[in-house]
Structure 1
Amino acid sequence: MSGPWVGAGLRVLHLGKFYPPASGGMEAHVQTLARAQAEAGAQVEVLCANHSADGAGTSHEFHGRSPTREDWDGPVRVVRLGRAASVARMDVMPDLPRVLLRALKRGVDVLHLHTPNPSMLLALDVVPRLPPLFVTHHSDIIRQRVTGALFRPFEALLYARALRVLATSEAYVPGSPLLRAFRSKVRPLPLGIDLTPYLHPSAEALEAEARWRAEAAGAPLWLMVGRLVYYKGLFTALEALARVPGRLVVVGQGPLQAEARERARALGVEGRVTWAGYLPPDSLVGAYRAATALWFPSNARSEAYGLSQVEAMASALPVLNTAIPHSGVPWVSRHEETGLTVPMGDAAALAVAARRLVEEPGLAKRLGHTARERAVAEFRHDVMATRSLALYAEALGRPVPVAREDVPATPRAAAGRA
């Protein structure tokens, strides 16, 4: 941005589910957006659930009561609400009404809710007067069909009150009944990340890269990054591994880990899988740099975007993803441009795509180069912040800030290893 923001000092309150160090794509996005907006001159606060009793760890599975506490993430004020229980993935937070009303009374120019987020959404539904409301719709409720059906009227009630509903990609909108119902107020806001650690790796990341390469011992190194949950397609990846050479590094934790380990044993690939769990940032950057490709075989629209694809692309790493109908996944990394896209749940097709990267001269390098270019052009955190503040200004009837020449002011409906 050249010169100060017209919206400098804008008071923004984000309502998330959790906040790092809690893991997850929505959590990472809320942190990245909040920090980037604060860097652009906004006064930013985040209200979310406290993921653990002591504030440590990355899991947000409920393991007992947690207290309400407040801290600062650089310039971002973060209020983490204590949880008393979790029922059907809805967190019970006794302090929520009091803390929310106190935050609203301090003065809020933009209230920004991130969904799915049942607890926060229901709390807002009963507040009679809200500040200008924006909703980022990260995903439909896919698997919990009964819960989703019961919850839908409450979603619709709040979405009707929103000034704008932000979709992570245009590709997701046609397959979402909720977004289609409010199509006139839907705008795309593609997710972005701070690319600096991937474009300019630290000495520790380069050391980690060397360790990962040594572990691969010259064989292909395939990488998966994400929570071990049903829609990530981990079993498809294990079946594909049985058809290709190399080692699969699985980064993440989740409820399917024990079953996945048993599946790996049954397939005879147990010795070629590294269950890495949670990796520190430098070690993860090193893994991206050492890998042959990111495997992203997700199998449901619960996977609406896939930020780990962006991390891989910024590392000039090709992505092998899936053609999930009406999902942003194949839009983020495009077939034959930044990676290869295969049908959902097709282990044989995933294996064929992986072998292409190994066997076709120059293919992996070409895809990786284009992947990095696309990440820099479309998925930087400052690009996302610029777009978000411009969307706020447009909806509020304020002058829309003029972005730097290298930062697109409005999101594109369709976009386009060193």
Structure 2
Amino acid sequence: MRVLHCYRTFYPETQGGLEQAILEMARHEAGSEVLTLSSSPGEVSVSDIPVKADRRWLSVASCCMGPGLVSTLYKSQADILHLHFPWPFGDLSYLLGGRRRPLIVTYHSDIVRQRALGAVYGPLMRLFLNKADRIVATSPNYLASSPVLTEYAKKVEVIPLGISESGYPRPSNNTIGHLRERFGQDFMLFIGALRYYKGLEYLLHAAKGLPFPILIAGKGPEEKMLKALAVTLGAENVHFLGHVDDEEKMALLDLCRAVVFPSHLRSEAFGVTLLEGMMAAKPLISCDIGTGTSFVNLDGVTGHVIAPADVQALRSAMMDLWDDRKKAESWGHAARARYEEMFTGQKMAEAYQDLYRRVLGERTDHGARG
């Protein structure tokens, strides 16, 4: 069984939670490949997964476009096409080049910010989703709260995202020692792309005057604004680390007191960083935005779930875990147990493998009856 994953960005050009999730899906299914767009087209191997990148001609409102994708999709010998939503050009590419092959759509997020464009895109989106054999929601929370998913509820299945511990390096003593020397330990840690929906401006307001460091690891379009805001606020305990590699990430997770994930808009549909914190047995702080973040992080069990864009609630949650080490450790152990029960890469992969086989079987049965 050959499965082709298709999304607008991928390694090595971009690194994010969605790219990590696609890689996890692909690495567990023999014969999987990834098709994407890039400013540097070509073919590479990422963790032994073949990745084909066609040229990205332009990007409008985060929608990457490159006409070569349609031809590549058409010529692909894949048995199943697995597209990752939202990506309007990907929808169009399937309709033009998919050759009616079985289609799985993982629905990662509603269109939140570009609502005007979303209204124009609506007819194409529905035509595309009508063609899907199955639509996968990443959490029951998102299925319940998304007007689009509820419209297609009869063919929606829920498969949570997952990550594999074996896919992360064990940090060396030198790396841990270097970071401990720079920042100490028991700091609060954010890891992720610095985007508009991450709620980091509220984290900066909450950080001022707290008795511990707050580390922000990652790069993104909001970086310049956030650094300027930190200076304006006098939040001297906030440190911007920029991009960190996986070894540094795991060392930071080892040293931190808690993972802080203040995303305040529905564009944050799940939060792979939360899974990484759970895997490292750390308590979590996240916001209740009606998405998978509150499916991953259980309030009062694995961490704090607070109101979005609430500076005082965020400050209080961090202080609570700072003041009560035993609670932080207890919630961290509960987080690790929940990761093992619900969110391993193997569990996610097995669920998708079962779905692929069922969809192919249904197509075969339908062809035989036809």
- Give yes or no for TM over 0.5: yes
State how many pairs are aligned. 361
1:365 pairs with 2:307: no
Residue in 1 aligned with 2:95? 125
CA distance in 1, matches of 2:189, 2:307: 19
CA separation of 1:361 and 1:13: change in aligned 2, threshold 3 A = closer
CA distance in 2, matches of 1:281, 1:127: 36
Residue in 1 aligned with 2:339? 375
Residue 268 of structure 2 aligns to a residue whose secondary structure is coil
> 8 Å contact 1:44–1:75 — kept in the other structure?
no
Q: Which amino acid is the alignment partner of residue 284 of structure 1?
A: K
Residue 48 of structure 1 aligns to a residue whose secondary structure is strand
1:216 pairs with 2:180: no
1:37 pairs with 2:29: yes
Task: Measure how far apart 1:74 and its partner are.
Answer: 4.5
Residue in 2 aligned with 1:266? 232
Residue in 1 aligned with 2:153? 183
> 8 Å contact 2:26–2:49 — kept in the other structure?
yes
Match of 1:90 among 49, 53, 63: 63
1:161 pairs with 2:127: no
Structural mapping, 1:18-417, within 5 Å: 18-21=9-12, 22-38=14-30, 43-50=31-38, 52-53=39-40, 68-103=41-76, 106=77, 108-127=78-97, 129-196=99-166, 202-204=170-172, 206-217=173-184, 220-269=186-235, 271-325=236-290, 327-397=291-361
CA distance in 2, matches of 1:361, 1:257: 31
CA distance in 2, matches of 1:20, 1:131: 26
> 8 Å contact 1:113–1:135 — kept in the other structure?
yes
Residue 29 of structure 2 aligns to a residue whose secondary structure is helix
Task: Measure how far apart 1:277 and its partner are.
Answer: 0.8
CA distance in 2, matches of 1:272, 1:359: 17
CA distance in 2, matches of 1:236, 1:73: 36
Residue in 1 aligned with 2:368? none
CA distance in 1, matches of 2:254, 2:281: 8
CA distance in 2, matches of 1:253, 1:395: 39
CA separation of 1:378 and 1:128: change in aligned 2, threshold 3 A = closer
> 8 Å contact 1:193–1:379 — kept in the other structure?
yes
Residue 14 of structure 1 aligns to a residue whose secondary structure is strand
Residue 284 of structure 1 aligns to a residue whose secondary structure is helix
> 8 Å contact 2:86–2:109 — kept in the other structure?
yes
Q: TM-score, normalised by structure 1?
A: 0.83
Higher helix share: 2
Q: Which amino acid is the alignment partner of residue 74 of structure 2?
A: L
CA distance in 2, matches of 1:78, 1:128: 18
CA distance in 2, matches of 1:35, 1:74: 7
Residue in 2 aligned with 1:4? none
Task: Measure how far apart 1:396 and its partner are.
Answer: 3.1
CA distance in 1, matches of 2:94, 2:194: 31
- Gapped runs of 5+ residues in structure 1? 1-9, 54-67, 399-418
Task: Measure how far apart 1:184 and its partner are.
Answer: 0.3
> 8 Å contact 2:70–2:96 — kept in the other structure?
no
Q: Which amino acid is the alignment partner of residue 156 of structure 2?
A: V
CA distance in 1, matches of 2:91, 2:339: 32
Which consecutive aligned stretches of 4+ in structure 1 deviate over 6 angstroms post-superposition? none
Q: TM-score, normalised by structure 2?
A: 0.93
> 8 Å contact 1:316–1:372 — kept in the other structure?
yes
> 8 Å contact 1:244–1:354 — kept in the other structure?
no
Cα deviation digits, residues 359-380 of structure 1 (max 9, x gap): 2251001000011111112111
CA separation of 1:367 and 1:390: change in aligned 2, threshold 3 A = same
> 8 Å contact 2:74–2:99 — kept in the other structure?
no
Residue 397 of structure 1 aligns to a residue whose secondary structure is helix
Greater shift in the superposed pair: 120-129 or 13-22? 120-129
CA distance in 2, matches of 1:33, 1:210: 34
Greater shift in the superposed pair: 299-308 or 350-359? 350-359
> 8 Å contact 2:210–2:237 — kept in the other structure?
no
Cα deviation digits, residues 105-141 of structure 1 (max 9, x gap): x3x2211100111221111123473211110000001
Task: Measure how far apart 1:249 and its partner are.
Answer: 0.9
Identity of aligned residues (%): 34
CA separation of 1:181 and 1:363: change in aligned 2, threshold 3 A = same
